[in-house]
Structure 1
Amino acid sequence: MKKTSTRLADGRELLYYDSRDDSVRDAVDRRPLDPVAITPEIRRDPLLGDSVAIAAHRQNRTYQPPAGECPLCPSRDGRLSEIPAADYDVVVFENRFPSLAGDSGRCEVVCFTSDHHASFADLGEEQAALVLAAWTDRTAELAELPQVEQIFCFENRGAEIGVTLGHPHGQIYAYPFVSPRTALMLRSAADHRRRTGRNLFDDVVARELSAAERVVIAADHWVAFVPYAARWPYEIHLYPRRRVPDLRGLGEAARAELPGVYLELLRRFDRVFGDAEPPTPYISAWHQAPYRAAGRDGFALHLELFTVRRTPGKLKFLAGSESGMSVFINDVPPETAARRLREAASV
């Protein structure tokens, strides 16, 4: 992998990740952009203790442009975009409309491919491995920023999820705090350790492997399963068999196997509802340990992949119980979802 750093016209950083070591990235951003001057605010909820980002400038972000005006496509044929090059493998750059910036963290966009009409599931294993390398590199670099406590790599796909740009891409949030969901996991893990003397994440994976009925894929270095108390109709958790706190800790064997396993899971999501349906909307979220929180060493890197589609033509909306009280009601038994995802395996 070759990494090349440059700057966009408004001063934001852009990084090319290329599979070829002889790639040359010298294109200049020729757009007349003003320097970025954004100050999102972090406010703390006194009742829940949660942090909320206030980012009013995001009201003006680009929304569902036609393919010919996509800001994530390469700059070519006289049209200038966020990526100055005429083509690229993988690109990461600072978000023009970030939820977090400066002392309140950082937001980056990850473009998985220059092909506007592709999706992550369409990538080959080599390209998926390059994305993994970019996630890992950004995790390592952002962890060095003094204001950053946790790195969150994720992808939202589909208009049903709220995606504003159709180009295949994800994001990286560098939070200046420990996210509420991670804080809950850490508290549960600490309580489990006090009661049993064991690691909670290890016990969860062992239980799923022993029961087997919710396991979707059991590879040499990774295991994917529908969790016992799944919140979403189709939800998969993917863990490395050897527990590590974040992407940086993965061994070479696990790193080499991940692209094939991950691509297979995404393709099953596309197949489980049948070819008549549009591509399945989903959120793919990498959970990594915070850097300075107690319990970091006992945290387990894992991916949570889920869709808001509950059956062909119908979505799972977060209504009163879910949105008002955070009590989820799942219409699809996890064992049924796991069976259907196993049946959607590649031939």
Structure 2
Amino acid sequence: MKKTSTRLADGRELVYYDLRDDAVRDAEDRRPLPTVSTASEIRADRLLGDSVVVASHRQARTYHPPVDECPLCPSRDGRHTEIPAADYDVVVFENRFPSLTGDAGRCEVVCFTPDHNASFADLTEPRAALVLDAWTDRTGELARQPGVEQVFCFENRGQEIGVTLGHPHGQIYAYPFATPRTALMLRSLAEHRERTGGRNLFDDVLADERADGRRIVLEGEHWTAFVPYAAHWPYEVHLYPHRRVPDLLALDDAARAEFPGLYLELLRRFDRIFDGRVGGERGARVGGERGARVGGEGAARDGREGAAEPPTPYISAWHQAPFSAADRGEFALHLELFTIRRTSGKLKFLAGSESGMNVFINDVPPEAAAERLREVASK
């Protein structure tokens, strides 16, 4: 991997990650950009004990531009974008419309490919490995910034998720605090250790899923992907390395080498979940027909069964340990991948129970979701 750091016209950092060591990245950003003006503020919720980010400047961010105005494509034919080069492998740059700024953290954009019409699942294994290298490098760089407590690498895919740019990309948030979700995991981790005389919760969850087997989706020599026993989302997969590590920086070479192929296969299966031509339609509709009959909290009724499906919308999220956590070594790096689509033409909305009380109601049994994800394996 070759890493080249440069600056955009308004002073934001941009980093190229290249597979070839002889790549030259000397293109300049010639846009007349004004200085970035942000108004990010973190407010504490006194009742729930968590934090809310207020970022009013994001109302002006780019929203679903036409393909020929995409800011994440390379700069070509006289059209200047966020990436000055005419081509690239992987690029990371500071978000022009960040949720977190200054002492409140940092937000970065990760462009996986210059191909606007591709997706992460279309990458080759070397390119996917390069993205993993970029995530790892940014985790290390952001960890050294004053005030950063936790680094979150993630991808939102699909307009249903809320993506405003169609180009395949992800984001990295550097939070100045441990996120509420992580705090809950750390609490459960401590309680499990106390209750079991020192056992590790993450180790036990992984061991139990591998022993049970019904919810296993993919299993390699160094990683296992499974649908969790109490999955919140219709199709949700957790991917764990077999050797527990707190973050991406601590992955060994063997786990890093196996990850790209396994992750790409997992993403490709997600794209085939709702394709009735692959593995039959029964699995795709497990729970969906029941949800249509019963309704239930969060049931979406805005589509027709059997209609042509756009690519599966998903969120892919790396969970890494906070840097100052007392039991940081007990935390387990893992990736959580899930879709809000519950069956063909229907989304899982977070309605009263989920949004109002944080009690999820899942229409798809985790065992059925795992079975469907095994049915759509690559041949």
TM-score by length of 1: 0.99
Q: Is the aligned partner of 1:148 residue 2:135?
A: no
Whether 1:173 aligns to 2:177 is: no
Aligned partner of residue 262 in structure 2, secondary structure: helix
Report the CA distance between 1:35 and its aligned residue. Answer: 1.6
Partner of 2:15: 15
Q: d(CA) in 2 for partners of 1:176 and 1:4? A: 26
1:34 is paired with a residue of what secondary structure?
Answer: coil
**2:352 aligned residue:** 320
Tell me how far apart the structure 2 counterparts of residues 201 and 248 of structure 1 sit (CA, whole Å).
18
Alignment correspondent of 1:121: 121
Q: Aligned runs of 1:56-75 on 2, under 5 Å?
A: 56-75=56-75
Q: CA deviation at 1:219?
A: 0.5
Partner residue in 2 for 1:300? 332
Instruction: Using the TM superposition, give the Cα deviation of residue 39 of structure 1 relative to its aligned residue in structure 2, in angstroms.
Output: 3.3
CA distance in 2, matches of 1:49, 1:326: 15
In structure 1, the gaps of 5 or more residues are: none
Give per-residue Cα distances to partners, 1:115-141, cap 9 Å, x unaligned: 000000000100000000000000001
State the distance in 1 between where 2:110 and 2:226 align.
26
Amino acid aligned to 2:335: L
Deviations 1:38-57 (A, max 9, x none): 23101000001111111000
1:118-170 per-position Cα deviation (integer Å, ceiling 9, x unaligned): 00000010000000000000000100111100000000000000000000000
Distance 1:295 1:277 in 2: 44
For residue 53 of structure 2, give the secondary structure of its aligned residue in structure 1. strand
- Amino acid in the other structure paired with 1:25: R
Match of 1:187 in 2: 187
Secondary structure of the residue aligned to 1:160 is helix
Of stretches 124-133 and 271-280 in structure 1, the one that deviates more from structure 2 is 271-280
Residue 208 (str. 1) matches residue 201 (str. 2): no
SS at 2:161 equivalent: coil
Q: Please tell me the root mean square deviation across aligned C-alpha atoms, in Å.
A: 0.7
From 322, 342, 347, the equivalent of 1:290 is 322
Structure 2 equivalent of residue 218 of structure 1: 219
2 CA distance for matches of 1:174 and 1:31? 27
Q: Please say if residues 14 and 92 of structure 1, whose CA atoms lie closer than 8 Å, have aligned partners that are also in contact.
A: yes
How far apart are residue 37 of structure 1 and its match?
3.0
Asked whether the 8 Å contact 1:237–1:302 carries over to 2, the reply is yes
1:338 maps to: 370
Structure 1 contact 39–102 (Cα < 8 Å) conserved: no
Q: Secondary structure at the match of 1:171?
A: strand
- 2:276 is the counterpart of 1:244: no
Structure 2: distance between partners of 1:195 and 1:295: 16
Deviation string, structure 1 residues 20-42 (Cα, Å, up to 9, x no partner): 00000000000001122323101
CA distance in 2, matches of 1:203, 1:250: 20
Structure 2 distance, partners of 1:214, 1:35, is 50
> Normalised by the size of structure 2, how large is the TM-score?
0.91
Aligned position for 1:103: 103
SS where residue 136 of structure 1 aligns?
helix
Q: CA deviation at 1:285?
A: 0.2
> Deviation string for 1:216-258 (max 9, x for gaps)?
0111000000000000000000000000000000000000000
- Do the aligned partners of 2:39 and 2:56 also contact (CA within 8 Å) in 1? no
Q: What one-letter code is carried by the residue in structure 2 that aligns with 1:201?
A: F
> Could you tell me which amino acid in structure 2 is paired with residue 54 of structure 1?
V
In the alignment, the residues of structure 1 paired with residue 233 and residue 34 of structure 2 have an alpha-carbon distance, to the nearest angstrom, of 42
2: CA distance between counterparts of 1:294 and 1:63?
41
Match in the other structure for 2:259: 258
Q: Secondary structure at the match of 1:23?
A: coil
C-alpha distance in structure 1 between counterparts of 2:274 and 2:45, whole Å: 39
**Count of matched residue positions in the alignment of Structure 1 and Structure 2:** 347
Unaligned runs of 5+ in 2: 278-307
Shift of 1:277: 1.6
Deviations 1:74-111 (A, max 9, x none): 00011110000011000000000000011000000000
How far apart, in 2, do the equivalents of 1:183 and 1:28 lie? 42
The secondary structure found in structure 2 opposite 1:164 is coil
Q: Does 1:199 align with 2:168?
A: no
Check whether the contact 1:109–1:172 (CA below 8 A) recurs between aligned residues.
Answer: yes
Whichever residue aligns with residue 309 of structure 1, its letter is R
Q: Classify the secondary structure of the residue corresponding to 1:80.
A: coil
Instruction: Judge conservation of contact 2:155–2:170 (CA < 8 Å) in 1.
Output: yes
Q: Which amino acid aligns with 1:148?
A: V
Paired residue for 2:286? none
Whole-Å separation in 2 of the counterparts to 1:124 and 1:288 = 25
Task: State percent identity of aligned pairs.
Answer: 78
User: Cα deviation per residue 1:241-290 (whole Å; 9 max; x = unaligned)?
Assistant: 00000000000000000000100000000011006421000000000000
